[in-house]
Structure 1
Amino acid sequence: MSEPFWKTTRLEDMDQRQWESLCDGCGRCCLNKLEDWDTGEIAWTNIACRLLDQNSCRCSNYDDRQSEVPDCIGLTPQTVRQLSWLPPTCGYRLVAEGRDLYWWHPLVSGDPDSVHAAGVSVRGRTVSEEGLDVEDYEDFIVDWPFEDVDED
């Protein structure tokens, strides 16, 4: 039996279908994060981008997201290796670090809902950024499952 593509193919060498399938659909990259300017520490919130479909945990306007949300950061092999705020469970990050995907990743489980069933996604746990003042974001700081890299 051959190894799955994410174990044998570098991020840079993946085709579009392979690349997109690395997203587990957790929605955590679509949350607003706060960064401490002095320490660089990232504080996670439960405030979702206005384009996040809070049920599917997918972008409601994926193709045009960067024109609608100018600070939306598109993931590339280079940005994946540079962004400190990608969740430690992120498929892109795991592959970039030479690690395997978790059992609940749809590529492993074969089920797109397994990320939700495992409690890793943001489904049912977010508020939209619409109508919130940035000054109030600190009131929405939360801990997410598998927030620390060492959790398995």
Structure 2
Amino acid sequence: MTLPFWKTKTLAEMSAAEWESLCDGCGRCCLHKLRDADDDSLAHTNVACRLLDTETCRCRDYARRRRRVPDCIQLTPASLATIDWLPPSCAYRRLAEGRDLLWWHPLVSGDPETVHSSGASVRGRVVSEREAGELEAHVTDWPGRLPRRRPARS
């Protein structure tokens, strides 16, 4: 039996297509975070980047996102070492930490909807930055936690 690429390659060895396929489409990394200037602590919000399609949980302009949102971070194997805000469910973070993908990841389940039905995605839980107002009013902790497994819907 042949093992999947994420079990046989390091992040740096992956092709561009393999790297991109690691994104499960949860949208959690596209939520605004607040960093405390005094103690460097991190607070998550339920406020989505204006480019995030809150239904599909995908970027509306992925190819040009960094031009349209200059502080959008491009994940690379090297940048993962300095980023402390990726959710614990993130495939990039999990693999960098030596852990496997979770059951609902589309590469494991074979179904891109499991990221949503599992409760891992931001679908139905966020507001757009265009409607949010003050970020401080939208601080929440769920984006920084592993999702709880939701029962399958009939």
Taking structure 1 as the reference length, the TM-score comes to: 0.92
Q: CA offset at residue 121 of structure 1?
A: 0.4
Structure 2: state its 5+ residue gaps.
150-154
The amino acid of 2:145's aligned partner reads E
The amino acid of 2:120's aligned partner reads V
The answer for the alignment partner of 1:95 in structure 2 is 95
The answer for the alignment partner of 1:66 in structure 2 is 66
Q: Is the 8 A contact 1:81 1:93 kept in 2?
A: no
The answer for the alignment partner of 2:111 in structure 1 is 111
The amino acid of 1:139's aligned partner reads A
| C-alpha distance in 1 between matches for 2:13 and 2:117 | 31
Identity of aligned residues (%): 57
| C-alpha distance in 2 between matches for 1:49 and 1:20 | 19
Structure 1 residue ranges (4+ consecutive) displaced by more than 3 angstroms after TM superposition: none
Q: After superposing the two structures, state which structure 1 stretch, 137-146 or 30-39, moved more.
A: 137-146
**CA displacement 1:77-120 (0-9 Å, x = unmatched):** 11122100001110011111110000000000000010100001
Q: Is the 8 A contact 1:22 1:91 kept in 2?
A: yes
The reply to whether residue 140 of structure 1 matches residue 138 of structure 2 is: yes
Secondary structure at 1:77 match in 2: coil
The answer for the alignment partner of 1:46 in structure 2 is 46
How many residues of Structure 1 are paired with residues of Structure 2 in the alignment? Answer: 148
Secondary structure at 1:18 match in 2: helix
| C-alpha distance in 2 between matches for 1:123 and 1:142 | 15
| C-alpha distance in 2 between matches for 1:131 and 1:89 | 27
